[in-house]
Amino acid sequence: MAEEKKKVKAPKLADPIASSIDVASQEMIARSHELGVETIFDRALTMKQCAIGVQGTCCKNCSMGPCRLPLPKAGIEGEDERKGLCGATANTIAARNFIRMIAAGAAAHSDHGRGVAEVFLSVARKETEDYQIKDFDKLLEVAKYLDVATTVEVDGEELDRDMDEIALETAEIALAQWGKSEGELLTVKRAPKARYELWKKMGVIPRNIDREIVEIMHRTHMGVDQDYKNLMKQGTRAAIADGWGGSMLGTDLQDILFGTPYPLQSEANLGVMKADHVNIIIHGHEPILSEMIIAISQKQEIIDYAKSKGANGIQLSGICCTANEMLQRHGIPICGNFLQQELAIITGACDAMVVDIQCIMQNIANVANCFHTKIITTHPIARMEQDTTIHIEFDEHHAAEDAERIIKIAIDNFQNRAAEIMIPKHKEPVVAGFGVESTEYHLGGSFRGTYYTLNDNIINGRVRGVAGVVGCNNARTKHNRDHITICKELIKNDVLVLTTGCTAIACATEGLLVPEAAAVYAGAGLSEVCETVGIPPILHLGSCVDNSRILMAATEVVKAGGLGNDISDWPVAGSAPEWMSEKAISIGHYFVASGVYTVFSNLPITGAPVFSDYICKEFENIYGGMWDTEQDPIKHAHLMIAHIDKKRKELGIDKARDRVMMDFAARQAL
Ligand code: NFS
């Protein structure tokens, strides 16, 4: 028999220019092709998406399936008769899939928050000396909303309570929010009163954080909840438990332990790596890891050790949300966002990539195998199959020791670099670290220190409204294009943008997070405000758990007065243009449940038009916020602007804006 010759297909390679708008990333994608290293950009060409999964109507919740219910090409006329084997309708299937995404996202954020709460409890119990309380004001603030007494009465006199006692009780009550058996999640009372009462009326106040996630898994099991509206009720309750619970506690307890961020300067993009330094990239989410690595890497004996191995020092940088955590509290430079994780290794200059949890691609281990880079996993719940990775379990009881071991592995690896290193030159300056407190200071002024001035500027129309633009990168979308197009369009139209996560990193690498960007990109009204107070037109508010900062900023606006009684009353909108993670669905849904009109590029609901209408239209009548989708970034921004204008009209402040615009035009004419 003639020997059959197998044809070897040449791998499809991504076009660097079509893959990313970021020049540093384009250079590294081209470099990956020169070196024959495959990345996610190439895989996105060969791996096609499942068309039914994209529509949200594939049910694989039991072994009789998967049952697939795509929308017929001609659409649905009359009654929708599509059913799974058990009779589950497209609406039931799409709703079950949707709230399972909320459960996974809420679990990821909240488990991160739980980890911080556990470290905080260890600190309060004085079981560890490696971490300490850094922000006592924040401790008192959190104690208050967790109903912990901060004063004691002694002989009829009210005295300050001992801080150690406050910390211990606060830590215990905080941790109890994950699994307490009675009552309701204490943190939801931080929402505006009208919002809290609406949630109460709708029966969506979370009982505790874990229970709402578990209940989603139960309700979506075969043969349980078969009403898309009832399923969404539970999805809403779990999302609130994330945004106003697990994420919010995560943020606040991190601020207590590691310090509340205040604006500082740094740099962003792959160009922050240094050829003559030991480059350690921290990738993932929990500052418990990164805080300790930062502290130990700054010790003189460690720097000397690096020098003894021929390096000029240690350069730390971050990928993904850990990057935002390290940036906002210490000014550690950002290396890149989600789609840049493989590219950072392809520089050949990454001596160790230290990862903990979430958004870590398994392929970094394969890319690292083409270079000298060590991949070090540190979390017991997130290990890698590839045996070339090193696992060093990070524990708060011996965190300093673990951090030193990790850093020394990176330093020792410096000598193993191959000759050819290519670090892109590109990096941009960035001002980051805005939070509820600093925004209050900047926009409220030093005398008043409230959101009054921001409200004033919204009312007089200089600031048309506020947008939260957040979320991931997605290899199905040109890297960073939609983040940047939407953010630029919003600020051009006088919408102040608050950003977190990979969007924040995209804006940083594009040079949009500096005060000077206002004069170049912002509309006349917004740029006047930014120039007066010295802030960028896009404010970096941190990582993905820090989206809770956006919720609290929105609440402060309500409290400052003049813009309605609830978050749904004032001109604010949300967006996640390049989302891919289940966490983004949980975030989007807690924005919606909090009364925010929220636009995503797409959602896996198109195969179930009735369910889709429910969350994209009817929801506004119930919660004052709703979902929307738009793939075109300019149209996407204008949907948000239209919503902002609708709210301005409802508040009767649309005329004020007209006047301001006329004044500006008149000034220009002069
Ligand atoms: Ni959040 Fe997306 Fe990941 Fe951060 Fe980036 S991918 S949902 S932004 S790093 S969590």
Within the chain, which residues score under 50 in pLDDT? 1, 662, 666-670
Q: Which residue owns the Cα nearest ligand 1 atom 8?
A: 501
Calpha distance 546→491 (Å, rounded):
21
Beta bridge partners of 316: 280
The ligand 1 atom at the shortest distance from the C-alpha of residue 583 is: 7
Cβ contact 389:471 at 8 Å? no
- 173 CB-near residues (< 8 Å, 6+ apart): 146, 147, 148, 186
CA angle 555, 212, 289 (to 5 degrees): 75
pLDDT in the model for residue 76:
84
Ligand 1 pocket test, candidate residues 328, 339, 358, 580, most atoms within 8 A of CB: 358
The ligand 1 atom at the shortest distance from the C-alpha of residue 470 is: 8
CATH number of 270-416: 3.40.50.2030
DSSP 262-276: --EEEEESGGG--TT
Calpha distance 248→546 (Å, rounded):
7
Provide the 8-state DSSP code for 245. I
Pick from 538, 475, 502, 513: nearest CA to 336: 502
Provide the 8-state DSSP code for 12. P
Residue at token pair 């902002």: 644
Q: Is 584 in the pocket of ligand 1 (CB under 6 A)?
A: yes
Calpha distance 16→40 (Å, rounded):
12
pLDDT in the model for residue 444:
61
The dihedrals phi and psi of 103, each to the nearest 5 degrees, come to -60, -45
The ligand 1 atom at the shortest distance from the C-alpha of residue 471 is: 8
Tell the CATH topology of 432-651.
Rossmann fold (3.40.50)
Residue 9 burial by CB count (10 A; 0-12/13-18/19+): exposed, middle or buried? exposed
- CA 186 from centre of chain: 23
pLDDT in tens, 514-573: 999 999 999 999 999 999 989 999 999 999 999 999 999 999 999 999 999 999 999 999
Calpha distance 159→19 (Å, rounded):
61
Q: Which amino acid is located at 116 in the chain?
A: V
**How far are the Cα atoms of 126, 151, 253 from residue 117, in angstroms, in the given order?**
14, 23, 7
Pick from 664, 623, 395: nearest CA to 527: 664
Interhelix angle 136-145/163-176, rounded to 10 degrees, is 50
Q: Which residue owns the Cα nearest ligand 1 atom 10?
A: 544
Provide the token pair at 232: 């969404």
| Ligand 1 centroid to residue 318 C-alpha, Å | 13
Calpha distance 247→107 (Å, rounded):
10
Q: Is 504 in the pocket of ligand 1 (CB under 6 A)?
A: no
Tell the CATH topology of 90-258.
Substrate Binding Domain Of Dnak; Chain:A; Domain 2 (1.20.1270)
Residue at token pair 């008043």: 448
Cβ contact 428:268 at 8 Å? yes
The dihedrals phi and psi of 257, each to the nearest 5 degrees, come to -80, -40
* Confidence (pTM): 0.95
| Ligand 1 centroid to residue 544 C-alpha, Å | 6
pLDDT in the model for residue 302:
98
Calpha distance 485→493 (Å, rounded):
12
Cβ contact 362:388 at 8 Å? no
Provide the 8-state DSSP code for 190. G
Provide the 8-state DSSP code for 618. I
Cβ contact 118:178 at 8 Å? no
Residue 107 burial by CB count (10 A; 0-12/13-18/19+): exposed, middle or buried? buried
CATH topology match: 90-258 vs 432-651: no
Provide the token pair at 47: 């791996």
Provide the token pair at 159: 């005295």
Q: Is 321 in the pocket of ligand 1 (CB under 6 A)?
A: yes
The dihedrals phi and psi of 572, each to the nearest 5 degrees, come to -140, 145
- CA 253 from centre of chain: 17
Cβ contact 493:525 at 8 Å? no
pLDDT in the model for residue 6:
66
Q: Which residue owns the Cα nearest ligand 1 atom 2?
A: 472
Pick from 122, 132, 57: nearest CA to 92: 57
pLDDT in the model for residue 1:
46
| Ligand 1 centroid to residue 383 C-alpha, Å | 19
> Hey, where are the domains in the chain?
90-258, 270-416, 432-651
Calpha distance 131→258 (Å, rounded):
8
Cβ contact 447:436 at 8 Å? no
The ligand 1 atom at the shortest distance from the C-alpha of residue 500 is: 8
For the chain, helix (H) and strand (E) counts, in that order, are 29, 18
CA dihedral 114, 120, 121, 123 (to 10 degrees): 150
Cβ contact 642:608 at 8 Å? no
